[in-house]
């Protein structure tokens, strides 16, 4: 079946550094990818919608200068957490929508970010 690969799965960084998370659709093309944040025992919170070749659309309350999203190709989107702080520690998940058929949505395995 379709696979969405997220990398890295875990990352620990120092406060003030920037971290990049990649989201790749491995066997399908995705014109639209989504980035989510999830706190323990809470539901997924949509951060932004990433469209290939255009600027991402951010949800209300999400700082676009803090969370930089790039969707350079039909199979790759990246999320960069800039100048990370401990409160940015969270589980970040991406999903990709297959551009063919009913547009099924596939999720990555998530990336756990810990900012010290």
Partner 1 sequence: KNQVEQSPQSLIILEGKNCTLQCNYTVSPFSNLRWYKQDTGRGPVSLTIMTFSENTKSNGRYTATLDADTKQSSLHITASQLSDSASYICVVSGWMDSSYKLIFGSGTRLLVRP
- Pick the closer one to partner 1 by CB: 63 or 109: 109
Residue 112 binds partner 1 (CB under 8 A): yes
Residue 93 binds partner 1 (CB under 8 A): yes
Tell me the residue ranges of DSSP E strands in the chain. 4-7, 10-13, 19-25, 30-38, 45-51, 57-58, 67-73, 76-81, 90-98, 105-107, 111-115
Torsion of CA 27, 35, 9, 1, to 10 degrees: -30
Under 8 Å between Cβ of 14 and 116: yes
Under 8 Å between Cβ of 3 and 106: yes
Residue 54 binds partner 1 (CB under 8 A): no
Provide the 3-class DSSP secondary structure of residue 41.
Answer: coil
- The minimum distance between CB 92 and partner 1, in angstroms, equals 10
- The minimum distance between CB 42 and partner 1, in angstroms, equals 8
Q: Which of 30, 67, 108, 113 binds partner 1 (CB under 8 A)?
A: 108
Residue 43 binds partner 1 (CB under 8 A): yes
Which stretches of the chain bind partner 1, using CB under 8 A?
A: 4, 6, 32, 34, 41, 43-44, 46, 49, 57, 91, 93, 95, 97, 102-110, 112
């Amino acid at each position: 079946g379709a696979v969405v690969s997220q990398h890295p799965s875990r990352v620990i960084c120092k406060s003030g550094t920037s971290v990049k998370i990649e989201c790749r659709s491995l066997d399908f093309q995705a014109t639209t990818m989504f980035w989510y944040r999830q706190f323990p025992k809470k539901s997924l919170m949509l951060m932004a919608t990433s469209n290939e070749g255009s600027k991402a659309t951010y949800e209300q309350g999400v700082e676009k200068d803090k969370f930089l999203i790039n969707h350079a190709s039909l199979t790759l989107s990246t999320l960069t957490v800039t100048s990370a702080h401990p409160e940015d520690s969270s589980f970040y998940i991406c999903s990709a929508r297959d551009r063919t058929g009913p547009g099924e949505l596939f999720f990555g395995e998530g990336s756990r970010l810990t900012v010290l």
